[in-house]
Amino acid sequence: MTTNSKEAILASARQIAQSHGYSGLNFRDLAAQVGIKAASIYHHFPSKAGLGAAVARRYWEDTKSELDTLFADSRDPISALREYPKIFRRSLESDNRLCLCSFMSAEYDDLPHEVTVEVQTFAEINVAWISKALVAAGAARPENSEAQARAIFAAVAGAQLIARSRSDISMFDALIESYRAKGLLPD
């Protein structure tokens, strides 16, 4: 099996997990989607837990890279914070999917430890980035920034969850705007 097959497995597993969570991952359906035999998946991922951890790790790595680019490319930290919710909005734009780690967080009690570690890392990456941006923007003092960052992360992830439950992306947009109007997010 080639590296391209491994990437195809990870990409398909990500889509499945964003729609159905960790519990929705099964090697037979995944293999059919990728166009390989289920046994071939075991070449790269010896277990469902290993696959789930790899998918969640890739997800947070991709998100971290995107956040770093967003911060570097924005004209100022406030602009970067304004753009932050769009990362979550894109999941909704893709067939009403959820952020992979948000979905897996809802399954926390049923996740293998190696998957929970990666899911928690996703949250930590987001909170650290928001905290850094808040401090750089002068919107929070360093000693208060983490609590404010957690509130922003939870609010944006929650807006995504509410919008998905209604299959209505405009609900996400309205909630984000209400967060801005109330001062939770920069306007």
For the CA atoms of the chain, what is the radius of gyration?
Answer: 17
Q: Which domains are present in the chain?
A: 56-181 (1.10.357.10)
pLDDT of residue 1: 45
DSSP state of 166: T
pLDDT of residue 101: 85
- Report how far apart the first and last C-alpha atoms of the chain are (Å, whole number): 49
The model's pTM is: 0.92
Per-10-residue mean pLDDT for the chain, 187 residues long? 81 94 93 91 93 96 97 96 96 91 90 96 97 96 97 97 96 98 91
CB neighbour class for 49 (10 Å; exposed up to 12, middle 13-18, buried from 19): middle
CB neighbour class for 78 (10 Å; exposed up to 12, middle 13-18, buried from 19): middle
pLDDT of residue 12: 96
CA 77 to chain centre: 21
